[in-house]
Amino acid sequence: MTTYKGINGFAVQSVGSDPSPSNEGQVWYNNASYAFKLASVTTAGAWATGGSLNLARQSLAGAGIQTAALTFGGFAPGATGATELYNGTAWTSNPTGLGTARYSMGAAGTQTAALAFGGDPSTAVTESWNGTSWSPVNSLNTARLQLMGFGSQTSALGFGGYSGGTIANTELWNGTSWANVSSLPVGRRVAGAAGNSNTAGLTFGGVDPSSATSTAAVSWNGTSWTSVNSMNTGRNSPGGAGIQTLALAFGGSTPALTGATELWNGTSWTTNPNSMATARRSLAGAGTQTAGLGFGGYTTANTAATEEFTGAGAPVTKTITTS
């Protein structure tokens, strides 16, 4: 009889934890969970349930990656400064929150080094996160709410939003102060965003002068904005993750609530066959196109639901069963 060892030249290994990284087709026995496992890849992006937030809220902010994320602020109802950290399994409430409670703000950074700016009630306040607590730093030049942001704690971009009307104003953060730079082609608010520095990013969807559920996408090159190919599904208040050339858009209002997910390859958008399990708007996002995170938002009420996205072609571990 043909055996695994006969085919591969070695026996199935018995290990106490799943190997990482693993190679597609690799088989092992996890002696802690008493299960045979197989390394595979997804054929299409898929969402899975993650650990719920401790505080259900909408219009919250997010930063970090799928296994080390940060969320702060939001409408709970009422503005909150609550801050939580995600370890890939569960959220932990931080003892201290934002100095200025708010929602609908811009965000940038990681779980240990983040930036929060603007928000509702309309403010220009900017705060910096060191992994433990928030500290005030220099404010935006223009107070606003429903703005977008991307980048890092020392290299961020804040743009669009609402300040007596939908605005196009863009500000660049250099780690010390904000400076006005080239504006968006048109005003935009409650849109999605992706990018890890102030030199390259993307914004998509939202509310603009032409639509309350825009399909438009605009790319930032460090100096100016350029309109690029539009999304397939117009929406406002979506979640976003990734970078300028590999972005993920999910959820939002079309105006009906949606869990629809799209992937950006730097040129065009592709609709993913699998949507979020919980359709919602005003959610937050973190992570990458192949390992994204969506959390919080509004369904018929504020939700604490968290979902983890595994992108097409990304490695996954499957348990081998007899069925």
Instruction: Give yes or no for residue 7 having a pLDDT over 80.
Output: no
Average pLDDT, whole number, for the chain?
A: 94
Assign 6 a pLDDT band (cuts: 50, 70, 90). Answer: low
- Plot region of 54 (φ>0 → left; ψ -120 to 50 → alpha; else → beta): alpha
Q: How many whole angstroms separate alpha carbon 299 and alpha carbon 291?
A: 23
| pLDDT of amino acid 313 | 81
Q: Report d(CA 107, CA 11) in Å as an integer.
A: 49
pLDDT tens profile 17-29: 988 777 778 899 9
pLDDT of 11 reads 76
Which class would CATH give 46-310? mainly beta
Stronger pLDDT, 79 or 6, i.e. the higher one: 79
**CA–CA distances in Å: residue 20 to residues 11, 17, 24, 289:** 18, 9, 12, 19
Q: Is the pLDDT of residue 8 over 70?
A: no
Sign for the CA dihedral angle at 183, 186, 187, 188 comes to negative
**Mean pLDDT, residues 54-81 taken together:** 98
pLDDT tens-digit map of 218-254: 999 999 999 999 999 999 999 999 999 999 999 999 9
User: Domain-by-domain residue ranges, the chain?
Assistant: 4-41, 46-310
